[in-house]
Structure 1
Amino acid sequence: MTRQIVLDTETTGLSAATGDRVIELGCVELVNRKLTGNNLHLYLNPDRDSHPDALRVHGITSEFLRDKPRFAECAQDILQYLRGAELIIHNAAFDVGFLDKELELVGLPPLATHVACVTDTLAMAKELFPGKRNSLDALCDRLGVDNSGRQLHGALLDAELLADVYINLTRGQDALLAIDDAPAGADGLPLAAIDLSALVLPVIAATADELQAHEDVLAQIDKASGGRTVWRIEAQAA
């Protein structure tokens, strides 16, 4: 069983090092790349106000958070939920930095010691789409994920969107799905795999004209490269 947790946070500002805190944690569980509904969503009292710029992004006021639990009260439950999973995070350094600081403040080891690994979808997207915008909104637009309900940033909503984005970014992994994802027959049971081991494929040899045309193309490439084509050099060495 492959268990992944898609995670997002909202914070009072941009710098955990200077005292900003986590105010919302949203987590969505995937098991074998399928949503399970076993999600975690918490609002947390940071004992400080959000920076005005951050407040404009998430809209979570100090008044709303005043009666919410503090991170210290929820730390063990959070770690129990995350333990042993692969975390999927967009711009992982930001969220992990904040969670590590919260754990440090309550005397607990950093996040990496509790989870299997962390996958950064921002880094993945930059490799797949170099030179393009790779924000969560941009990826939703590019990959056909409906983000029309995202007026303000919210940790749970963003984690749900990121789960869809991640599945689309890694669509090639569908070849690794378990048998329960195989096509089903009319009775609802998985179709049996077709045994191709006895299949004999015909071998069609190239004609003399085709072989000569091939050699002509190789000669042109060799001439254009100044006689530095690999196949000519290796043939001479042999």
Structure 2
Amino acid sequence: MRQIVLDTETTGLEWKKGNRVVEIGCVELQERRPTGRTFQRYINPERDFEPGAQEVTGLTREFLADKPLFAAVVDEFLAFIDGAELVIHNAAFDVGFLDSELARCGERYGRIRDHAMVEDSLDLARQRYPGQRNSLDALCKRLGVDNAHRQLHGALLDAQLLAEVYLALTAGQSEIGFASPAADAGRAAAVALPTTGLGPRPRVMVPEAELALHAARLETVRVKAGHCVWDVVSVVVPDSVAEPESALS
């Protein structure tokens, strides 16, 4: 799957009040791996920043004065995100601004969801960490993502941090071999052995040290994924192949 982790910077908090996008930053993932492809553009908003917004981004009206208008980069931007799944933190904010910018460019550009699917990483974080702070900075700290170099908000920097946060937030059993049930089924079928006529199976004794390592690994999976298949899967041994108790001692 192709995903684009996206962030924007704006002149203020509400597009309905005429605020504009001043920067777009995108990072491409392919099958959950960064490809190295990015998209970043500064944009002339043709208006001033609201109080406080300029301090957050570090951008100024003077710096943006010679940058292209959104209409000049819209085709390149839409080509970059076309057909992908967009991963956005607090997606309603960024999508609202981008839809407003597309509307200024003309009806033929439609809306963001006409070009790409949208996944809100804030919703994912709230499901996993209910009742906790789930800002990008809070998630970086909680998930061990280094954001010490983030002194100001920048769209590309924030998209790069969000990509790391998203991968950590959604890591779990797909990272340890459960990502493709069809592939697993195919491998299982390829090595399937007949079970009729088998005698008692030998008992395997697992050292305590290995059991402790196994338990620690399962706890890591529970923390990262929120659940673990070993907690819900039970093994039933048919009577036909069950061994007498004396054979196991």
TM interval, short-chain normalised: 0.7 to 0.9
Equivalent residues of 1:32, 1:177 under 8 A apart? no
Where does residue 83 of structure 1 map in the other structure?
Answer: 82
Where does residue 31 of structure 1 map in the other structure?
Answer: 30
Where does residue 101 of structure 2 map in the other structure?
Answer: 102
Where does residue 115 of structure 2 map in the other structure?
Answer: 114
1:53 CA displacement: 1.1
Q: Measured at CA, do residues 6 and 176 of structure 1 come closer, stay the same or move farther in structure 2, by a change above 3 Å?
A: farther
1:94 is matched by which residue type in structure 2? Answer: F
Cα distance in 2, alignment partners of residues 133 and 151 from structure 1? 19
Quote the RMSD (CA, aligned, Å): 2.2
Report the identity percentage. 54
Where does residue 123 of structure 1 map in the other structure?
Answer: 123
1:114 CA displacement: 0.8
Where does residue 21 of structure 1 map in the other structure?
Answer: 20
Larger radius of gyration: 1
2:110 is matched by which residue type in structure 1? Answer: P
1:142 is matched by which residue type in structure 2? Answer: R
1:103 is matched by which residue type in structure 2? Answer: L
Cα distance in 2, alignment partners of residues 105 and 155 from structure 1? 21
Cα distance in 2, alignment partners of residues 177 and 132 from structure 1? 28
2:80 is matched by which residue type in structure 1? Answer: Y
Cα distance in 2, alignment partners of residues 155 and 195 from structure 1? 47
Equivalent residues of 1:12, 1:20 under 8 A apart? yes
Cα distance in 2, alignment partners of residues 70 and 193 from structure 1? 55
TM-score normalised by length of structure 2: 0.72
Is 1:40 the equivalent of 2:8?
A: no
Where does residue 146 of structure 2 map in the other structure?
Answer: 146
1:197 CA displacement: 2.4
Q: Measured at CA, do residues 74 and 206 of structure 1 come closer, stay the same or move farther in structure 2, by a change above 3 Å?
A: farther
2:22 is matched by which residue type in structure 1? Answer: I
TM-score normalised by length of structure 1: 0.75
Cα distance in 1, alignment partners of residues 141 and 98 from structure 2? 29
1:18 CA displacement: 1.1
* Unaligned 5+ runs, structure 2: 181-186, 202-236
Equivalent residues of 1:28, 1:159 under 8 A apart? yes
Where does residue 182 of structure 1 map in the other structure?
Answer: none
Equivalent residues of 1:5, 1:27 under 8 A apart? yes
Equivalences, count: 192
Matched residue SS, 2:15: coil
User: After superposition, where does 1:217-236 map in structure 2 within 5 Å?
Assistant: none
Cα distance in 2, alignment partners of residues 196 and 135 from structure 1? 47
Cα distance in 1, alignment partners of residues 244 and 138 from structure 2? 49
* Unaligned 5+ runs, structure 1: 179-191, 208-238
C-alpha offsets along residues 147-188 of structure 1, whole Å, 9 cap, x if unaligned? 01101110000000000011111112323558xxxxxxxxxx
Matched residue SS, 1:141: helix
Matched residue SS, 1:145: coil
1:122 CA displacement: 0.2
Where does residue 4 of structure 2 map in the other structure?
Answer: 5
